[in-house]
Amino acid sequence: MPSLARAGDASVLRFVPQADVAILDPIMSVSYVTRNHALMIFDTLYGADIHNRPHPQMVEGHVVEQDGRQWTLTLREGLRFHDGTPVLARDVVASLKRWWQRDNVGQVLAATTDELAAISDRQVRFRLKDPFVMLPDALGKFGTNTAVIMPERLAQTSPHEQVTEMVGSGPYQFVPGERVAGSQLVYKKFADYVPRPDGQTSALAGPKVAHFDRVEWHVLPDVGTAASALQTGEVDWWENPSSDYWDLLSAGKDTRLDQIDPFGSAGVIRFNFLQPPTNNKLVRQAALAAISQRDVMMAVIGEDPKRWKDHVGYFLPGTPMASDTGLEALKEPPDRAAARRMLQEAGYKGEPLVFLVPGDFATIKAQGDVVTDALKKAGFNIDMQVMDWGTVLSRANNRQAPDKGGWHLVGTFTSGVGLLDPSSNNFLRGSGTSAIFGWSDIPKLEELRMAWFRAPDEKAQAAICSEIQRVAFETVPYAPTGLYFQKTAYRSNLADVQKGLPLFYGVRRT
């Protein structure tokens, strides 16, 4: 890594991400490292604060008329893309029409919209079939497939093809000439970015002030190398330090350990609904019965129970949409004898199940090892195939049979903020081939999800979520494997590191 030799340059921030950014296009991947990359380059119309409340960001404001069925959004003055062109309403319209074909909430907004049009250079108008009070939430959410705004010429790219350039209007510009796949990404400060003049910086909301001229992402899969680089000052920030190093880094006078994500990370074992035998719900139920959330969490983050939670269902524990419905399926210790009986009833004959696991993503690899062992003990024949994270993401979108590059199971983690409700949990979709990888086909989940959007109040929404969780435990769109709370680590001379996710505005060197 020759670029690390410039470690004394105070205007450069060096960051170690959780993994390489295999897919650069933010609507083409549900990977959080892709989202983090995108939020440096692109801006959004609204931005969620640390409490997940939306605030105007690129928009100056909005007007709601016709009993909530017409929204007129006005862009702030002075917004420019990195290629020097002004941000216009037609760029917004094209960006949103591309985004809502891929996003969980966007698809609901699209179905509710009669017309989305640019009525002037700075004004965008939604004409809706029915009121949609969550419009700002949809356009400024934390999660993946974020509704970023790009030039119309790029936004006209098919939503099933990656855009060819990373041109946004955010506080940093991507430097494509310094991209080294699997090793390095570079961003430079965008001199013409105009932060919001009002509000407090909080997660994706408020003024986005870039204090560094250059941000370098150095991909260091070896945790020992990353720890050493942080301790010696070769890098400034390690996104996801291995829990084995937490005590050492918190004790060091030049390093600081911090928890910036209050929601945690939730484990997911996703099943392929298109391929036998994981298209059989009894096989999925057997897998769920065999997995110990406690064992997975201890392998991922250590034995200290303050670092994780088990008995985690399909919604974030302790939040309004969470309930105890169906949690009896998560037995400790797991009932693997019951799992074997389910496999026998399903007619499973011991055929190998391809399980995609990234070897360069420590937490997902640890989860994969434990889940593979658990499933084998329950009578599954698991073919755990270890590869780099980029290859996992690529193969996860392959719908063909496993012998043609497809798969049966994929393990990942998703941000706990995505488990707040049905609008944000992509893995709870039951829409078949329009759902994300795994393509879970569960019409009842879709019916309940739409009922949740139409519910009159939080009490009614919570009752629907209880039923969603009951159906999910019966049909198993994915197996939840627990929730853990990841720390981040950075040099003590960094200040104002934002809460919520790795953000590179606001943070400065003292």
- pLDDT score of 195 more than 50: yes
| Same domain? 389 vs 424 | yes
221's CB contacts (< 8 A; 6+ apart) are 19, 360, 361
**Owning domain of residue 61:** 42-161
Shared domain check, 249 and 292: no
> Does some domain include residue 29?
no
- How far apart are the C-alpha atoms of 199 and 202, rounded to whole Å? 9
The alpha carbon dihedral of 18, 20, 21, 23 has a sign of negative
| Mean pLDDT, residues 475-479 | 98
| Residues 95 and 203 grouped into a single domain | no
Mean pLDDT of 227-255: 96
Residue 10, pLDDT score: 84
Write out 167-178 in H/E/C secondary structure. Answer: CCCCCEEECHHH
Average pLDDT for 80-86:
98
Condensed to tens digits (0 to 9), the pLDDT of residues 431-461 reads 999 889 999 999 999 999 999 998 989 999 9
Final residue before a domain boundary, out of 94, 127, 161: 161
Separation of alpha carbons 120 and 79, rounded Å: 15
Question: Which CATH number is 182's domain given?
Answer: 3.40.190.10
Q: Is residue 331 part of a domain?
A: yes
Q: What is the pLDDT of residue 104?
A: 83
* Whether pLDDT at 4 is above 80: no
Euclidean distance between CA atoms 322 and 472, whole angstroms = 13
Residue 8 has pLDDT above 70, yes or no: no
Do 424 and 302 share a structural domain? Answer: yes
Do residues 480 and 492 both lie within one domain?
Answer: no
Placement of tokens 């497939």 in the chain = 145
Tell me the per-residue pLDDT of 114-159, one tens digit each, with 9 for 90 and over. 999 999 999 999 999 999 999 999 999 987 889 999 999 999 999 9
**What's the pLDDT band for 212 if we cut at 50, 70, 90?**
very high
| Interatomic CA distance for residues 494 and 510, integer angstroms | 6
> Has residue 374 got a pLDDT over 50?
yes
- Say how many residues make up the chain: 510
- Whether residue 242 lies inside any domain: the answer is yes
Q: Based on the domain organization, do 151 and 202 belong to the same domain?
A: no
Q: What is the pLDDT of residue 178?
A: 98
User: Which DSSP category does 268 fall into?
Assistant: E
Let me know whether 190 and 250 are in one domain. Answer: yes
CATH code of 64's domain: 3.90.76.10
- Both tokens of 24, joined, read 């650069």
Asked if residue 6 has pLDDT above 80, the reply is: no
Q: Is the pLDDT of residue 7 over 80?
A: no
pLDDT of 9: 77
Number of H helices, E strands in the chain: 14, 21
Q: Name the nearest CA neighbour of 337 among 293, 379, 369.
A: 379
Query: 31: pLDDT confidence band, cut at 50, 70 and 90?
Result: confident
Residue 27 located in a structural domain: no
What is the average pLDDT score of the chain?
A: 95
Number of domains in the chain: 3
> Tokens 């960006």 — which residue?
95
- Mean pLDDT to the nearest integer, 75-101: 97
Same structural domain, 280 and 400: yes
Which residues fall within 8 angstroms of residue 419, CB to CB, at 6 or more apart? 263, 266, 314, 315, 316, 319, 425
What is the C-alpha to C-alpha distance for residues 506 and 171, in angstroms, rounded to an integer? 11
For residues 49 and 198, membership in a common domain is answered with no
Whether residue 401 is found in the same domain as residue 447:
yes
For residue 17, cis peptide bond before it (omega within 30 degrees of 0): no
DSSP of 276-345: TTTTSHHHHHHHHHH--HHHHHHHHH-S-GGGEE-S--SS-TTSTT---TTGGGS-SS--HHHHHHHHHH
Coil, strand, or helix at residue 397? coil
pLDDT > 90: percent of the chain:
91
The secondary structure element, H or E, covering residue 39 is helix 32-41
How far apart are alpha carbons 278 and 146 in whole angstroms?
30
Residue 486 confidence (pLDDT): 95
Question: What tokens appear for 302 in the block?
Answer: 């250590």
Q: What is the pLDDT of residues 303-329, one digit of tens each?
A: 999 999 999 999 999 999 999 999 999
Residue 37 belongs to a domain = no
CATH of the domain at 330: 3.10.105.10
The answer to whether residue 411 is domain-embedded is yes
Residue 145 has a pLDDT of 86
What is the C-alpha to C-alpha distance for residues 502 and 494, in angstroms, rounded to an integer?
Answer: 13
Do 373 and 312 have their domain in common?
yes
User: Is residue 25 assigned to a domain?
Assistant: no
Which pLDDT band holds residue 2 (cuts at 50, 70, 90)?
very low
Note whether 197 and 301 are same-domain residues.
no
Q: Specify the residue for token string 């099933």.
A: 160
